[in-house]
Structure 1
Amino acid sequence: MGDCIANILMYLANIGKTFASDFYNLNPKMQNLRRKLQELNAQEADVVATLIEQERHPAKRRRAVVQHWLSQVVSKRQEFESLEAEVNQNSWIWRVKLAKRADKMFEEVTKLTDQGVFPEGVVLAIRKTIKEKFVTAECKGQGFKENFERVWTYLLGNEVSSIGVYGMGGVGKTTLAQCIYNDLKNKNLFCGNIFWLTVSQDLNIHNLQKDFGKELQKDIIEDLNLELSKEDDEDKRAAKLRSALEGRKKFVLILDDVWNSFLLQKIGISPSLAKYGFKTIVISRNLQVCRTMECQKFLKVDVLSDEEAWELFMNKHSNGKELLPKVKEIAREVVKKCAGLPLAIVTMAGSLRGVDDIHEWRDALKELKESCAVQDDMENKVFPILLWSYNRLRDPILMRCFLYCSLYPEDFRINRDKLITNFISEEMMERRTSRQADFDQGHKILNKLVNVCLLEAWEGPGVKMHDLIRDMALKITKDNWMVKAGLQLKEIPEEQEWKEDLDKVSLMLNKIEEISSFTSPKCPKLSTLLLNSNPLKSIPDSFFLHMRGLHVLNLRNTCIEYLPNSILDLEELEALLLGRCLRLKSVPSLEKLKALKELDLSYTCIEEIPRGVESLTNLKCLDTSGFNLKRIPRGILQGLSLQHLSFPSDTIIPIEEVAGLKQLEEFYGGFCSTYDFNLFMKSRPSDVKLNFFEILIGGEKIVYMRNPRRGYFRVKSVIFSNGSLGEGNRGKDKIMLPQNVDSLDFYASGLCSCLFDDIQQLFSGTELKTCSLSNEKRIECIVRMPLEEEQPMAEEEQQSSLMPLHYLEDLNLSELPNFIGLIRWEVAPEVAPLPRGFFSHLRRLTLYRCWEIKKLLPRSLVQNLHNLNELEVIACVKLEEIIGDEESDESNTVITLPRLEILHLAELPELEIIYKGKIICDSIKKIHMRRIKKVSKVPFSLPPHAVIEPDVDKSVTSEGEREFLKEEREWRESLKWEQPNANRVL
């Protein structure tokens, strides 16, 4: 009883204390509230100023959340004025009630202040201009959104610099990180410096350093010298990376799939960078790894709830489209078997996509229940589901191609074309009549595997295997395959690991230097041996003695100097891949290898075609590209039926034998003259298309020629060089270009004054996408207007006549001493206006050392350049204007370049005007200007994400260099911009 009375008295005392506090502290509380509201008002003023500036651009509109916030601020301000009036008017009786209202309002104003940061920006771009790196990343579920918001809070605050995200395999940790990466990039936070590194189970600091260097090279500054491959010392590589980060300390580094902890200093990152805004996100299955990596905050990614799992399944299965009621009931049971794991749900949905028959759903559920029945551990439950999805492929070709991807290291990004080339080498697909058809089939197979979610589409032309799916594939093949790829092995596995039933062995991307003498694994059924990308110096003769069934031997990118004689006994060998064996000088006679279909000798030291090649009647691919093969003797090619042929562009070849290769579909090489080239083209059968090629005409190698890439079905280029189009070499017949050529390069070829005139005179009809001119001494312009001297053409006729240039996307002009402009008018522009759409597809225009040009772009042409993405002009010493008016000085004229992202102007001593009027360009991302001190005004209105990139070399030592940098800085600071806050934006 006494305790009860005491508690009541204490309760009453607390009430009295609170009452007294509210009564006497009303005025201080109002003062605090007034200060907080002033802070909110200042924040509102900043937001409104930003809105006014950004909403001037037609491609931007105010975000709804921003408008709602502004209305809340106004409402809160009115509410404060009302409260303040009541405080002044009411008697002491109401003080307690008013004090409580002041407390509540203080909390609400504080919340509004926190909400007014708007990390996503205050306006919304109507057209999205930034391509997402991870196109498959999806943000689903309440738990996912809460995790996402927590990470955002940590990233945008100042208290946390390192975040650990952990959870079981397949639960969605990487997807969460991918969404964060995409959003950071799209919203241009952290100055766009967002880097992604995949660490993987086998931690390799060297590879991490190399990948980080590539990321820096790509995302920070394009001409950054970060060549790390020749640097052996780990600490020196780290120092180079650290130096590259100096002055760019505000960035986010995402480390995905971390199995073992390591010091960030090893990849050039000092912990002291945290105070400047450097953030790290560590993704791992193990909480302890996150702790050891010194993460300050930890975030666990849990499995999805039942409803979240169902929503994800339906979205992946049928884009949310309702199922029939009976099917829906079974489908919900199927989803429950996935135990909330996103990887399992997505894979299951992909496998059942398009299935409507209730009988098939019942059968799927029955199989799933049986396969999952024995699994208790949550993480292991995903394996039966993945295995079930694999079994549902049914098609043996799909199954084989899927399993083949597990031969690559964990988290390896596999290039599609290289992978399909391997499918062809391994004869894993149906035989087709042409190599092009083989590649079409290969892409169809990969698309199917991506669609059923067993492979992931990766940025660029690549695919990737989730590590859990790869683990499942390795379990399927464990009895017949030995896969130890990318594990940093220094020796090959012990002989007892080489089982007699082995079919495939992958030891690629290790550190194996030697195979001991007398090593002779007994693997009579072995069909594929992948030893590529090892520092392997030699192979003992005994090694292949018991591998007589070998079909594919890949020794690419090794250090071998010679092949053992026992290789000649591999009579079933179909692919011998020795590309980039830079020390390989000779190969023994290959006469006995009658089954050989593919021989890759690219970039070796071999100077002669190996003996016996002429007798390899099954050979389809011969790659000798590189720099050492001097000639192809007569008689080598005449008996072959090659589909792919590559050789160095300056190799002396028997032209009649190359012309006799009727099945040729891929060709990389050179001809001495246009006569030889025409002879080759005239020999082409009408029913066999030359699909992909890079052909140099002119007889000599030139340094800028792209390296032929085996299996890359992209290049369709012809290069004319060394006077091959000069007056003495111009025959009566037009040059017979392949119909599908999309790139022409001219290097000191002997072109006349107008490029278009030569194209019409010399070549059969074509539609170009890329054109490059270099060291052409007579070229003055790209096209003359009008095209006919006597009578100007009608607009439709002009457009038709300019068709070869109508689809041009990339125009590169360099070292043209007499070039005066893109267009040369021979009458007044108003008499011969530009055809509609001329240059309308142009995306990239570059000029380098064109010494006579004074005005680059006529204003009448700019209206056609709505696809121009990059403009680069360097060392054109007489250039005065970038965009000039043909008529009067119209300084108030506004032009639009809606897709221009990069403007690079350098070494232009006479340039005074970029444009006299105003340029609207919401897409601009980077402006690089150097040594153009006569320019006083930049006519762009800059969006918030634009960057002006200084060209500063921190290693300057001389007084003259320092003075130059000082002058550059003073000039830059004196520039006038279209908007008053340009310096703050920059």
Structure 2
Amino acid sequence: MDKLLEIVTKAAEIVTNATTLLCPDLEENTQTLQSKIELLKSRKVDVQADLKNAGKKRKREVEDWLINVENNITEFETLEQEIQCSRFYSRQKLAERVERMTKEVMELDEQSDFPGGLFLEVDESIGQLMLTPPHNDHAFLQNFNDIWASLMDDNILSIGIYGMGGVGKTTVAMHAHDKLLNEPKFSGHVYWITVSQDFSIHKLQSDIAQALKLDFSCGSDEKKRAAQLFQTFQKMGSFVLILDDVWKQIDVEKIGIPPRRDGCKLVITSRSKEVCHRMGCQKIIKVNTLSKQEAWELFLKKLGRDELHPEIEEICKKMVKRCGGLPLALVTMAGSMRGVTDIHEWRDASEELKESCMGRADMENEVSPILLYSYDRLRDPKLQRCFLYFSLYPEDFSIKREELIENFISEELMDRRLSWRAENDQGHAILNQLERACLLERVYLIYLDEYHVKMHDLIRDMALGITKHNRRYMVKAGLHLREIPDVQEWTEDLDKISLMKNSIGEISIGMSPNCPRLSTLILSQNPLKSIPDCFFTQMRGLRTLNLSSTSIQYLPHSISDLENLITLLLRHCFELKSVPTLEKLRLLTRLDLSYTGIEELPVGVESLTNLKVLDLAGTSLSMIPTGVLHSLSLLQQLRLPIHIGVPIEEVLALKQLEYFCGSVNSVSDLNRLITFLQSMMPPSFYCIFLISKFDEQIIWETSRRKLVGFGKESLMDSSLGEGKILLPRDIENLIFSESGLRMVSLADGFLMLNNARYVKKCNVYNEDEIECIIRLSSTEEQQSRGVPFQSLEKLLLYELPNFIGLFMWEGKAAVAPLLPGIFTQLTDLKIDRCNKMKKLIPWSLLQTLPNLQNLGVKFCDEIEEIIGDEDDDGSPVINSSAEVTMPRLKILSLVNLPKLKSICKGMMICDSIENIIIILCTNLKKVAPLDGQPSPPPSLKEIRVDAKGKEWWESLEWEHPNANNFLQPFVKFVPLWANSL
């Protein structure tokens, strides 16, 4: 036995030595790659912060960069695991991957400078950019150049773009759309409408009206609607209307589109050349498939590999050939194989694909088996279930990731987890896998600061085809149906039905579909006012019912008998005043009554002992009856209306609680609740208010973060001493709103709060006694108080009647310098309606704001100077030759400041400035960040001035005589309302 052990030990040593000799630098190179990955992560955080702070539309190259960074981070995590488990025979391949990834990461780091800036320069009030990725392949450029030449030809008024599904018609049309938005001859009047296979005149009219921001004044009469659309287009002058995915001939006059008028162009994309002819297109352009070389390069790019094993390369070439030059097929196929290295798995995949494509010789259908193969390769049933669930949404529909994951959980599509956080993490992991397989696409909505996902229409068609054979779905979503489908269509074998986002106003009395197996029914986003009582009587197997965002006024009593119901969603049913008894719905796990008109809890809520999610936010409930929450011991998520205090003892008994939003009545209750939440795992989300009278807009703007808010007169108790109020350790947002802070400085208010040093964002509204942010005193006293704002990133001050500036000296005597680190992290400072303030930032203390990026001052009647200083006799310390440096300032916004005379009297150095907004500041004579410069700052993008301020702009004084000329291209005169970024 000892001898055997010795042999095994020596063998292990030999393997280890061989491994090291074969690739001696693998570990070191991996550590180098890891350090570069960490730097890339930091750069990614910086870029995302810049995007979020600016609030503008990002360039697609920026979006692509972020996605590539995320992919590299994910791939590195996989690579690390493989290296740890590697043997000598695989280390050479791993070393090659490390080398390749290092090059990619270095390239991404170099690309992160974005010399043209992060954002698109376009008037967003007119058009909306499609943000399509750049293409350099020959076929794409040839197609695009043909289309662009036709668009610029005044003699061509209608253009047809055709080609097989997945060839890239929509992509090339999107590029044309984006470029047209900057074309002066159309003044931004470029409109994109997705038509799809199941279009109707009524739906198409509604979609065009929405794009034009037109409200129909003629009801639903299609002829009158057509006339109104026609008149709107006639008044517009030149415009381009792009109709994407047209399946059959459309009579444009019936829709209300002017036929062939000079200066107006109609562009359609279709899979059929015949449709283009029938619609009278003067120029018809075929979108060609990729050449063999272009197809191969695209496949390798999406596969994420530069070099391949000869046998794997041969298999890949066969796969590429089967894709027939179709970009969608190539991208999806490569996505399904990304990360596969084992030759056996490649051979197996090749056989699967061959079987999937048997009998599919027709090129038009070539993409279908490719997509079906990618679906089959998901393997994991939960991935397939979640993928198919997305087909219930309308075509070209994007949905917030978190909302989709909530539905995955409710529908029990994923593996069960012990906590909501674990299930939420699982949902994100599933969406990431579907994105990496190119079956879902990630979309970032900058105006919401949210990531959404969407599905290509061909992939959705494939998903719906699967559900017709395996899991019976009836999906008629987003078709502008005005009536519910006939009862004959509600067959007995249906599993899920989606009628969301239509125009269904009523369900016929007496309609009672026989659907005993139906598990999910989605009627959300319809103007539905009532449902007959008999409607649900033959749907006893129903598990999910979604009536959100309808006009429902009352629910049928038959809902009370749906004993298998797990999820009931009534969010944003504002007209709903009451709900029938829920006593029998003992299996219910998710009940969403948020933003409904209910004034009392439904009867039987206390019987819902399996409930995990209860959302009552935004309702008019006057109270939560005693004992109700105590009976719901499994609650993981709880949102209550903020105008009522929670029954604290009952909340503290909810040992599974991870997500909480509501109000408490006292500091004591607040401390107990926070202690309770932190005694378990930190909750993934909380929004806690002390005293409940908050403006709804404030809550809407801030409640997406971890938040604690102090409402009306909640801090007037004179017994509140230093550190008496507990804040969570991971707090992000802090709000004071008429809280009665009896403090001269905000910093003194922070002293009452334990853990306040971790706050990242602070909003202060209507606090009468606040005069400054920090009182400057002796160094010893400052040290004793500590550094209260060391983590603060954003500070908003609104309507503070006695506020005089950021800093205030105690007496006129000179004081020691401000302690370092106080505002080190501050990036955003916004002051609004603080009418006593004359100077905002003392020049001598400007160095305390080294990272300030966004400075906004609005509606401050008395302010005279943004950066200023005074000595004991009141004369200014700063002079015209002094230099004032703001190294990271990007946005300066000054709005309605009637007495403002100066931004800064000295020479202001601000090479980072990108956007300057000056609205109704008629006494301002110089624009300091631009004055004294021989040329525009290198980062400058736009100077926004109110439309009536042209005369003011012309009267400005400049150190350099040519300043007005070289700044003129950056000046944009806008309406008064367009005063923010």
TM above 0.5: yes
**1:274, CA displacement in angstroms?**
7.5
Name the counterpart of 2:738: 748
Q: Which residue of 2 aligns with 1:973?
A: 954
1:520-566: CA deviations, max 9, x gaps?
22222211111111222222222222221111111112222222222
Distance 1:411 1:791, change over 3 A: closer
Aligned to 2:87: none
- Tell me which of 270, 279, 293 is aligned to 1:307: 293
- Letter matched to residue 807 of structure 2: I
**Alignment correspondent of 1:576:** 568
Equivalent in the alignment of 1:176 = 172
Contact 1:942 1:985 in 2 (8 A): no
Q: Deviations over 1:897-949 (max 9, x none)?
A: 56655433222111011233455656656543332111122232367974444
Cα distance in 2 between the residues matched to 1:514 and 1:700: 38
1:780 aligns with 2:766: no
Secondary structure, in 3 states, of the residue corresponding to 2:698? coil
Contact 2:828 2:852 in 1 (8 A): yes
Structure 2: which amino acid aligns with 1:458? V
Q: Which amino acid aligns with 1:454?
A: L
- Is this contact kept in 1: 2:757–2:791, CA < 8 A? no
In the TM superposition, residue 179 of structure 1 has moved relative to its aligned partner by 4.8
Note the 1:212-291 alignment, pairs <5 A: 256-259=244-247, 282-287=268-273
1:379, distance to aligned residue in structure 2 (A): 2.2
Instruction: Please report the RMSD computed on the Cα atoms of aligned residues, expressed in angstroms.
Output: 3.9
State the alpha-carbon separation in 1 of the partners of residues 648 and 797 from structure 2.
Answer: 32
2:523 to 531, 552, 570: 531
Q: C-alpha displacement at 1:202, in angstroms? A: 4.5
Structure 1 residue 685, shift from structure 2 partner: 6.0
What's 2:302 paired with? 316
Contact map agreement 2:911 2:939 (CA 8 A) in 1: no
After superposition, where does 1:681-692 map in structure 2 within 5 Å? 681-684=674-677, 686-692=679-685
TM-aligned CA distance change 1:170 to 1:820, over 3 Å? same
Q: 1:827 to 1:210 in 2, by over 3 A?
A: farther
User: d(CA) in 2 for partners of 1:148 and 1:241?
Assistant: 29
Matched letter for residue 974 of structure 1: S
The answer as to whether partners of 2:838 and 2:865 remain within 8 angstroms in 1 is yes
Pair 924,308 (structure 1): closer, same or farther in 2 beyond 3 Å: same
CA distance in 2 between partners of 1:688 and 1:628 (Å): 32
8 Å contact from structure 1 (residues 739, 766) kept in 2:
no
Does the Cα contact within 8 Å between 1:228 and 1:237 map onto a contact in 2? no
> Secondary structure of 1:449's match?
helix
Whether 1:884 aligns to 2:863 is no
1:78 maps to what in 2? none
Q: Which residue of 2 aligns with 1:82?
A: none
Q: 1:406-805 to 2 correspondence within 5 Å?
A: 406-460=391-445, 461-479=451-469, 480-641=472-633, 642-684=635-677, 686-707=679-700, 714-728=704-718, 730=720, 734-751=724-741, 752-785=743-776, 790=780, 801-802=786-787, 805=789
Measure, in 2, the Cα distance between the counterparts of 1:898 and 1:468: 49
Partner secondary structure for residue 313 of structure 1: helix
TM-score, L = length of structure 2? 0.76
Paired with 1:229 and 1:424, the residues of 2 have a C-alpha distance of: 39
Distance 1:827 1:834, change over 3 A: farther
Contact 1:664 1:688 in 2 (8 A): no
Name the CA distance, whole Å, in 1 between partners of 2:571 and 2:608.
Answer: 19
Q: Does 2:157 match 1:146?
A: no
Q: Mean Cα displacement is larger for which, 434-443 or 176-185?
A: 176-185
- Percent same amino acid among aligned pairs? 50
Q: Distance in 2 between matches of 1:818 and 1:240?
A: 53
Inter-partner Cα distance in structure 1 for 2:164 and 2:455: 17
| Alpha-carbon separation, structure 1, partners of 2:252 and 2:850 | 44
Structure 1 distance, partners of 2:918, 2:701, is: 34
TM-score normalised over the length of structure 1:
0.76
Partner SS, residue 704 of structure 1: helix
CA distance, structure 1, for counterparts of residue 601 and residue 295 of structure 2: 60
Aligned counterparts of 1:451 and 1:829: Cα–Cα separation in 2: 64
What does residue 929 of structure 1 align with?
918
Q: In 2 relative to 1, CA 888–552 (structure 1 residues): closer, same or farther, beyond 3 Å? A: same
Q: Displacement, 1:136?
A: 7.1
| Distance (Å, rounded) in 1 between the aligned partners of 2:432 and 2:882 | 49
In 1, Cα distance between equivalents of 2:381 and 2:782: 64
Deviation at 1:138, TM superposition (A): 4.5
Contact 1:209 1:238 in 2 (8 A): no
- Distance in 2 between the 1:865 and 1:185 partners? 38
Q: Relative to structure 2, which stretch is displaced further, 854-863 or 872-881? A: 854-863
Shift of 1:775: 0.6
Aligned counterparts of 2:845 and 2:277: Cα–Cα separation in 1: 60
Find the aligned partners of 2:697 and 2:726 in 1 and give their Cα distance: 24
Tell me, yes or no, if the aligned pair for 2:884 and 2:909 is still in contact at 8 Å: yes
Mapped to 1, the partners of 2:718 and 2:276 lie a distance apart of 71
Aligned to 2:895: 906
From the superposition, tell whether residues 648 and 291 of structure 1 become closer, same or farther in structure 2 (CA, over 3 Å): farther
Q: Secondary structure at the match of 1:669?
A: strand
Please give the secondary structure, in 1, of the residue aligned with 2:697: coil
Pair 148,860 (structure 1): closer, same or farther in 2 beyond 3 Å: farther
1:129 CA displacement: 2.5
Letter in 2 for 1:542: C
Q: Which amino acid aligns with 2:793?
A: E
Moved more, 829-838 or 513-522: 829-838
Distance in structure 2 (CA, Å) of the matches to 1:619 and 1:272: 60
SS at match of 1:462: strand
Check conservation: 1:651, 1:670, Cα contact below 8 A. Answer: yes
Q: Is the 8 A contact 1:625 1:708 kept in 2?
A: no
3-state secondary structure, aligned to 1:938: coil
Runs of 5+ consecutive residues of structure 2 not aligned to the other structure: 1-112, 122-128, 446-450, 871-875, 931-935, 972-981
Q: Take 1:186 and 1:896, find their aligned partners in 2: how far apart are those partners?
A: 35
Alpha-carbon distance in structure 2 between the residues aligned to 1:558 and 1:452: 35
- Provide closer, same or farther for how the CA distance between residues 186 and 687 of structure 1 changes in structure 2, counting only shifts above 3 A: farther
CA distance in 2, matches of 1:188, 1:945: 22
In structure 1, what is the equivalent of residue 162 of structure 2?
166
The residue number in structure 2 matching 1:360 is 345
Q: What is the DSSP-based 3-state SS (H/G/I as helix, E as strand, rest coil) of the residue aligned with 1:529?
A: strand
1:242–1:805: structure 2 CA closer, same or farther, 3 Å change rule?
farther
Q: Deviations over 1:714-763 (max 9, x none)?
A: 42112111111124462676212222220111111122111122112333
Q: Which amino acid aligns with 2:325?
A: G
Q: What pairs up with 1:800-819 in 2 under 5 angstroms?
A: 801-802=786-787, 805-819=789-803
Counterparts of 1:881 and 1:161, CA distance in 2 = 55
User: Which 5+ residue runs of structure 1 have no aligned equivalent?
Assistant: 1-123, 217-225, 953-964
